[in-house]
A and B are shown apart, each in its own frame.
Chain A
Amino acid sequence: MTTILSSPPPLRTQSADRRVTVQRRKRKKALQHTVVIALLSTWTVFALAPIVWIVMMSLKVPEDIVTYPPKFLFTPTLANYADIFTGTQFLTPFINSIIVTLGALLLTLVVGLPTAYALARFNFKGRESIAFSILSLRFAPELLIILPLYLLFQKVGLYDNYLGLILAYQLVTLPMLVWMLRSFIEDLPVELEEAVSVDGGTRWTAFRHVIFRLIAPGLGASLMLSFIFAWNSYTLPLVLSGRKTQVITTGIQQYISFQSIEWGPMAAATVVSMVPGTLFAIFALRWIVGGLTAGTVKG
């Protein structure tokens, strides 16, 4: 745009002049695209290199892993994966993680969905303070609640117990789900429910047949995000789970905190622990950004 404005009209014919500017602009555009792609590629290499490296490591035999300089060409093996899925060292935390995470999600759904609906649809006294208190659970440093819980749980027998962990995980999952669902429901016009009530339906009918169906994708995405948060959570199980209920994040650490480090199985376990997040990134990401930026971004 500036090139057109700044170049004074030369003596050449207008069409030839125009061709030159178009060409110049095209070349400039192409250069810009090249620079942008180069920069993005650089970052992508930085972002992916560690992941690629750990995946490669998980496919190596022990001798190939510890060589220096590192080996980039090797015969891949699945022995590490076979190893972690046959012993209990990985399998127990893996199954525990699934139990605790799914349990926590179920409880969050039962508690969070009605709450999110009420916060989005009714105007009642104390609404904002309740909403803020729930959100502030996420702001509190985890240990502030967990250290006292640690002693409390030991007294009442919830320490190293699935139920105890599921209850504690609400600290992570509930604020996320309520906050996001609330914004999804608020985005739906109230007229939807009014139309149902004109036709003689109750609020419950409206919720079941209209609202629920419309928020289903958002609900699915919020549940998946809560799943990731719970799955990734570390501080809670570090303090509240013992030998019996160890989860995947604390379990993986066991591979490197002992004297002899089992690199291969550690890498394989790491790769398996990445699976839920990767699936999420592929299938549900676009739903999340809208929920997180609720009220700040239009369109």
Chain B
Amino acid sequence: MRHKPHLPYLLVLPALAFLAAILYPFLTGACWSFTSYRLSRGDPVFNWGENYVRLFTSGEGLHAVTITLTYAVTVVVIECVLGLGLAMLLNYGRYGNAFRLLNVLPLMLPPVVAAIMWKVMLTENWVVNWLIESTGNAKLAWLSGPDTALLSVMLIDVWIFTPFVVLLGQAGLRSVPQELREASSVDGAGPIRNFVSVTLPMLMPVLVVIIAFRGIDSLKMFDIIYTTTAGGPVDATTNLHVLAYLDGIRNLNFGMAMAALIVLWLLVYLMSHFLLKARRKDAVS
């Protein structure tokens, strides 16, 4: 079907205008990251990347990077293992659909609301600690303990986002032809061997999408952490995104905040770049 050469551009024009409009705040912000800009002290002054140097020498930034990476890696690994396991269980019998609807609910709530819900439940004298006490163990501090806070936040993340892996994993598993699995078990492969050499390679493309989505979202996790601990106690759960918010909105230090955000953006960008590359290689082979 023929069309006028300018037609496609005409159709994407509104989106392009929108993208161009986004560039303005993005570039302004990127410039601020190279300035000392406190809202209380007037206009931004160029300071030769001092923010970045400070971010990585004061320990604050390195700590935030560590928290960001620990959080993302842990959460993605746990969710992938749990999620794929559950997806396989759901695909096992015919009762999968009944379970699926119930299982997917946590994903549909606003993450903030889910986080608040958990925060309430994990309060020192409430239902979760009551359960623990009734089994004869000592109460835990959960979100308010310096050692347990990060783990508690991760627990909430796992609760919310494992269903995401389940949903996509289920779709991916259905695309693995039953005959392949049967063929390999005829050849004497046990269930583990079967999974590693047949199912997993076929699942790779979906797995890349899952890791991309979950990886990106957990690197820039803000909602859950900010609503439950606001980065505390002290800085036990301060990742880069939360650090930037505290710097920018609480301390009105926009220079430092933007520097943290640019670092976070680079992290996210690097990860998505590698994953896209992996996916393209998949598509070719």
Contact = CB atoms under 8 A, between A and B. Distances in A.
Interface in A4-50: 32-33, 36-37, 39-40, 43-44, 46-48, 50
B15 A46 contact: no
Contact of A139 (B114, B159, B248, B269): B269
Contacts of A277: 105, 107-110
Contact of A143 (B105, B186, B209, B241): B241
A149 interface: yes
A37 B261 contact: no
B127 to A, nearest CB: 5
A270 interface: yes
B125 A293 contact: no
Interface in A90-110: 110
Nearest to A146: B25
B90 interface: yes
Interface in A275-295: 276-278, 280-282, 285, 288-290, 292-293, 295
B172 A297 contact: yes
Q: How large is the interface on B (under 10, 10 to 19, 20 to 34, 35 or more residues)?
A: 35 or more
14 contacts: A36-B92, A43-B103, A50-B114, A140-B268, A145-B25, A145-B26, A253-B116, A270-B117, A273-B110, A281-B107, A289-B167, A293-B209, A296-B279, A298-B175
A285 to B, nearest CB: 7
Contact of B125 (A48, A68, A203): A68
Given A143-B245, A296-B205, A252 B163 contact: no
Interface stretch (A78-86, A129-137, A213-221): A129-137
B32 A178 contact: no
A210 interface: no
B30 to A, nearest CB: 9
Interface residues of A, number: 96
Interface of A: 1-2, 32-33, 36-37, 39-40, 43-44, 46-48, 50-51, 53-54, 57, 68-70, 110-112, 114-115, 117-119, 122, 124, 127, 130, 133-134, 136-152, 170-171, 174, 178, 190, 193-194, 197, 203, 206, 228, 231-232, 234-235, 238-239, 248-249, 252-253, 256, 263, 266, 270, 273-274, 276-278, 280-282, 285, 288-290, 292-293, 295-299
B52 interface: no
A22 B239 CA distance: 57
A114 B103 CA distance: 35
A118 B117 contact: no
Interface string B213-248: 100100010110011000000000000110011001
Consensus secondary structure, chain A interface: helix
Given A33-B92, A53-B117, A280-B108, 7 more contacts: A50-B117, A143-B261, A144-B262, A193-B1, A249-B110, A263-B120, A281-B104
B149 to A, nearest CB: 17
Which of A134, A139, A141 gathers the greatest number of chain B CB atoms within 10 Å? A141
Which of B8, B107, B111 gathers the greatest number of chain A CB atoms within 10 Å? B8
B49 interface: no
B47 to A, nearest CB: 18
Given A234-B110, A281-B108, A239 B249 contact: yes
B10 to A, nearest CB: 8
Interface stretch (B53-61, B70-78, B94-102, B140-148): B94-102
Nearest to A113: B11
Nearest to B27: A148
